[in-house]
Amino acid sequence: MPRSRFLGTGFAVPDRVVTNDELSKLMHTSDEWIRTRTGIQERRWVREGETGADLAFRATGRALDAAGIGPGDLDAIVYATSTPDHFAPGNGVFLQRRLGIGTIPAIDIRTQCSGFVYALSVADAWIRCGQYRRILVVGAEVQSTGMDVTTRGRNTAVIFADGAGAAVLGPSQDERQGILAFDLHSEGAYAEKLWVDSPGSMYHPRVSLQHLAEGRHFLDMDGKEVFRHAVARMPESVRAVLAAVGHSTADLSLLVPHQANLRISEMMQRELGLRDDQVYNNIQRYGNTTAATIPIALDECVRAGRVREGDLIVLTAFGSGFMWGSAAIRW
Ligand SMILES: CC(C)(COP(=O)(O)OP(=O)(O)OC[C@H]1O[C@@H](n2cnc3c(N)ncnc32)[C@H](O)[C@@H]1OP(=O)(O)O)[C@@H](O)C(=O)NCCC(=O)NCCS
């Protein structure tokens, strides 16, 4: 069975920059509070009418260029998002339509912050079993339209943001190169600790004026609980995926963590005993873009030369569900 490897990566964010000072005009918060608690200095939010599929389309164009192939060379799309443009169908088909490609399968993965890692695991399995050869894996989100931008929603509104990252995967010619292993978990006991209650099919109608008045359509988070689990689960998962491929943290060239909160990344780095050059963070500029953080960060690393052939890379994520996981890659 061939391993799957990255053939190209790309990302796109909206051009609208939202600063901490701008948020301070909408709610009781401050640049100082946001920087010290989250590390975020600014983030990108879509303009009216700009969609997740738009961002994904732009990110895909860059990933395809980097891979040196066109949309018509793709065999499948795996699209991770927790914020599809519509309740149904998923965003994979909207992206497929924008790319103008026939009838290839296009599935959505809805595992929130760990979406890109889960999406990679699906694409990897398809490539390894020979079902498809060239797979587009996307992580894209529009969180800003689901934020309560008043003081009531300040614990999420200052964190979450919009963006898209994409990667083209294909079979590796060299069995030592490519995705080596995954470590994936979920724990439904904490499903309501970071969630969007409404719209939901358990309600009739799925969303009501009462839901809207109560703010149940906004992303709701128990920040302390998320923090507590994230700083334990991500290091645990990084160690597990490295152990599965016979390595330790000392062998790690680069850890690309989900950009949840800079404090979470820093605690994880200390816990794992990693040097600064072994961990990449860019939450300062983009905030937490959920399923998009890892592919955005990965593309920045690739283009900046921080990822080189032969490097051992680990991607790790934790978020809503709770769901978490890691991927170990020999680049
Ligand atoms: C959200 C988070 C930054 C809050 O930091 P914290 O130190 O836990 O703060 P608390 O939730 O205890 O809140 C402390 C105070 O700050 C207030 N606060 C919350 N958000 C605020 C904001 N944006 N600006 C100013 N004050 C804020 C709270 O209301 C609370 O006030 P109170 O003491 O008067 O009730 C933190 O819990 C966190 O980072 N959690 C993980 C979030 C995350 O990574 N989510 C993504 C996972 S994928």
Mean pLDDT of 198-215: 96
Give the pocket of ligand 1 (CB within 6 Å). Answer: 29, 33-34, 37-38, 113, 154-155, 158-159, 221, 223-224, 226-227, 260-261, 264, 288, 319
Mean pLDDT of 219-237: 97
Residue 248 clears pLDDT 90, i.e. is over it: yes
Q: Is 258 a catalytic residue?
A: yes
Q: Out of 229, 258, 261, 301, which one is annotated catalytic?
A: 258
Q: How many CA atoms lie within 13 A of 76 on its CB side?
A: 19
pLDDT grade, residue 38 (50/70/90)? very high
Which residue owns the Cα nearest ligand 1 atom 26? 29
What pLDDT shows up at residue 175?
Answer: 86
**Contacts of 212 by beta carbon, 8 Å cutoff, 6+ apart:** none
For residue 325, the CA-to-ligand 1 centroid distance in Å is: 24
Mean pLDDT of the chain: 97
Ligand 1 atom, smallest distance to 264 CA: 44
Q: Are 183 and 326 in contact (CB under 8 A)?
A: yes
Q: Out of 113, 155, 211, 261, which one is annotated catalytic?
A: 113
For residue 32, the CA-to-ligand 1 centroid distance in Å is: 13
CA distances from 60 to 12, 80, 82, 206, 299 (A): 9, 13, 18, 33, 12
For residue 155, the CA-to-ligand 1 centroid distance in Å is: 5
Considering just the CA atoms, what is the radius of gyration of the chain in Å? 19
Residue 119: name the closest of 331, 302, 271, 323 by CA.
Answer: 323
Residue 326: name the closest of 267, 249, 221 by CA.
Answer: 249
Q: Are 42 and 283 in contact (CB under 8 A)?
A: no
Q: Is 86 a catalytic residue?
A: no
- Phi/psi of residue 154, each to 5°? -65, -25
> What pTM was estimated for this model as a whole?
0.97
CA distances from 59 to 10, 19, 52, 90, 180 (A): 5, 23, 11, 18, 25
Residue 82 clears pLDDT 90, i.e. is over it: yes
Residue 193: name the closest of 216, 215, 225, 161 by CA.
Answer: 225
The helix (run of H) or strand (run of E) holding residue 38 is: helix 31-38
What pLDDT shows up at residue 274?
Answer: 98
Q: Is 113 a catalytic residue?
A: yes
| Cβ atoms < 10 Å from Cβ of 194 | 23
DSSP string, 178-213: EEEEEEEEE-GGGGGGEE---S-TTSSSSS-HHHHH
**Tokens (6 digits) for 320:** 């809503």
At 107-166, the pLDDT tens digits run 999 999 999 999 999 999 999 999 999 999 999 999 999 999 999 999 999 999 999 999
For residue 119, the CA-to-ligand 1 centroid distance in Å is: 29
Which residue owns the Cα nearest ligand 1 atom 40? 223
Which residue owns the Cα nearest ligand 1 atom 46? 260
